[in-house]
Amino acid sequence: MNMPLPTLATFAAYLAAMLALGIIAYRSTTNLSDYVLGGRSLGPGVAALSAGASDMSGWLLLGLPGAVYVSGLSELWIGVGLVVGAFLNWVFVAGRLRRFTALAHDSLTIPDFLEHRFEDRTRLLRIISAVVILVFFTLYISAGLVGGGLLFQSSFGMEYQTAVWVGAIVIISYTFLGGFLAVSWTDFAQGILMFLTLLVVPMFVVVLVGGWGSVQSEVVGVDPSHTAILQGMTFMGMISLLAWGLGYFGQPHILARFMALRSERDVPRATLIGMSWMVLALAGAVATGYLGIAYFADAPLADGETVLIELIRALFNPWVAGVLMAAILAAIMSTIDSQLIVSASAITNDFYRGMVRSNAGAAELVWISRAAVIGVSVIALLLAMDPEAGVLDLVSYAWGGFGAAFGPVIILSLYWSRMNRNGALAGMVVGALTVIVWKELSGGVFDVYELLPGFIFATVAIVVVSQLTGRPPVEVEQQFAQSRRLTAE
């Protein structure tokens, strides 16, 4: 291992702090609602930053800066799509989902909400949605562990297996102990660390290169096309990048933050905090990649995704570098822990309590949830042990799959009283299948990102099937009407 001792020390301190938060959260976790949804007690700041941190993952600190470093400013359009999608999600989904899930038998998970929203006594909605969540998130978690292992293997000389185990043990420990509260609190801290890193590093680079004019001159000297935001952009390419924003409406780990808010009144403040964090963090990520072109103009990097790492190494002493490097680990951890708790929630609430022991006590359900955390983690770890297994490739389906399968269902369930159980089932199935099939096609119209057709076809399926199969039961329409009458708490 060639990691400098000061950097290693700051890393260790960071990991210890995350474990401490898990222990503190353990004291506040007494029942299933506490463990899987934090007892609906999140304040706007924690909800907003934990949603942002769990969403962005390593892509914000590695993928986006790397893409800009390689291709220039034309890569920022995906960030534009994500900002628009996240904003619309906070404005049109957050408040209503918080209100409606509390009204619908205090639903703790998305499968729980869908079953109660449509009074589905067959439990097909719960089973299918829980299976989709469990399968995709297990792969997601595994991919995160693989990404973290490869990152630290190449950057710090740490052996791959060691890196995977160290990261997994810390994440599993605080998630096991404190559940959703531990995940949200650690994501909040990780979100602040990621944010500060993406602001500090670009500022230092601008100063060292000699100001913005010098930066521009260096970038133009490398490749003038890197300064053009529309360089090489086709209409279909633009639509594909912007379509990424549609994925927000169906991501269970983000929707869980809306459900966990202590009050619907907190949504406007959470929206302001979350969107401010997101816009500035994305701007910092784009700036990092762009400034990296100028800083490394004379010695280009072999791997663009290491641009942030190499800038930190070049600009800061080992102690400060250790803190900033921890931001990269934070980005990876903040997504894995959120996906882990949602997966455990699906096992405990949607399978164990929903189908095996409906009368299970509070303490029993909490420990089943903790056991589920261990179980999902073990499967993900086994998949992650082989970095050549192709797990990372499967993640390309997950964002689009969740967005198409759950996005239209969630939106219409909150806004359309005529929607019924059959429409919801049709939307989930059509959305997921469209993403899978479209991904395998290429050429012409099929080159558009598969989330967009999946979202459109799922919406059409919900409307058509709901219209063809009759009105929902009276109690379903009454519950919907009640949710519309309720004002913020």
Whether 188 and 52 have beta carbons less than 8 Å apart is answered as no
Q: What is the pLDDT of residue 166?
A: 77
Predicted confidence (pLDDT) at residue 135 exceeds the cutoff of 50: yes
Residue 227 lies in a domain: yes
User: CA 421, CA 372: separation in Å to the nearest integer?
Assistant: 29
Predicted confidence (pLDDT) at residue 488 exceeds the cutoff of 50: no
* Total domains present in the chain: 1
126's enclosing H/E stretch is helix 124-156
Q: Please identify which residue in the block is written with the tokens 């998305």.
A: 110
Residue 97 lies in a domain: yes
Q: How long, in residues, is the chain?
A: 489
Alpha carbon distances (Å) from 377 to 16, 24, 373: 20, 22, 6
User: CA 324, CA 309: separation in Å to the nearest integer?
Assistant: 9
User: CA 397, CA 450: separation in Å to the nearest integer?
Assistant: 9
Write the DSSP assignment of 160-200 as a string of letters. Answer: HHHHHHHHHHHHHHHHHHHHHHHHHHHHHHHHHHHHHHHHH
pLDDT in tens, 51-64: 888 887 778 888 88
Average pLDDT in the 352-356 region? 76
Strand locations in 33-129 (E): none
User: CA 479, CA 392: separation in Å to the nearest integer?
Assistant: 42
Predicted confidence (pLDDT) at residue 1 exceeds the cutoff of 50: no
Residue 455 lies in a domain: no
Average pLDDT in the 159-179 region? 80
Q: Please report which confidence band the pLDDT of residue 444 belongs to, taking 50, 70 and 90 as the band edges.
A: low
Residue 231 lies in a domain: yes
Mean pLDDT for the chain overall? 86
Residue 59 belongs to domain spanning = 5-106+121-243+272-393
User: CA 179, CA 284: separation in Å to the nearest integer?
Assistant: 31
Average pLDDT in the 113-141 region? 89
Q: What is the pLDDT of residue 3?
A: 60
Q: Please report which confidence band the pLDDT of residue 4 belongs to, taking 50, 70 and 90 as the band edges.
A: low
Q: What is the pLDDT of residue 2?
A: 58
Q: Can you say how many angstroms the Cα of residue 228 is from the centroid of all Cα atoms in its chain?
A: 29
Predicted confidence (pLDDT) at residue 79 exceeds the cutoff of 80: yes
62: CATH: 1.20.1730.10
In percent, the amount of the chain with pLDDT more than 70 equals: 94
What is the tally of helices (H) and strands (E) in the chain? 20, 0
Q: What is the pLDDT of residue 91?
A: 95
Q: What is the dihedral of CA 489, 21, 331, 317, to 10 degrees?
A: 130
Q: What is the pLDDT of residue 235?
A: 79
Average pLDDT in the 84-104 region? 94
Average pLDDT in the 109-121 region? 92
- Residue among 424, 469, 473, 373 at smallest CA distance from 110: 424
Whether 293 and 101 have beta carbons less than 8 Å apart is answered as no
- Residue among 411, 422, 410 at smallest CA distance from 464: 422
Residue 472 lies in a domain: no
Low-confidence winner among 155-159, 310-314, 409-413 (lowest mean pLDDT): 155-159
Residue 447 lies in a domain: no
Residue 10's region, left for phi above 0, alpha for psi from -120 to 50, else beta, is: alpha
Whether 289 and 214 have beta carbons less than 8 Å apart is answered as no
User: CA 148, CA 165: separation in Å to the nearest integer?
Assistant: 10
Q: What is the pLDDT of residue 454?
A: 95
Q: What is the pLDDT of residue 163?
A: 77
Measured from the Cβ of residue 163, the count of other Cβ atoms closer than 10 Å reads 22
Average pLDDT in the 241-263 region? 91
Residue 200 lies in a domain: yes
Residue 143 lies in a domain: yes
User: CA 366, CA 372: separation in Å to the nearest integer?
Assistant: 10
Structure tokens that stand for 483 in this block: 């949710």
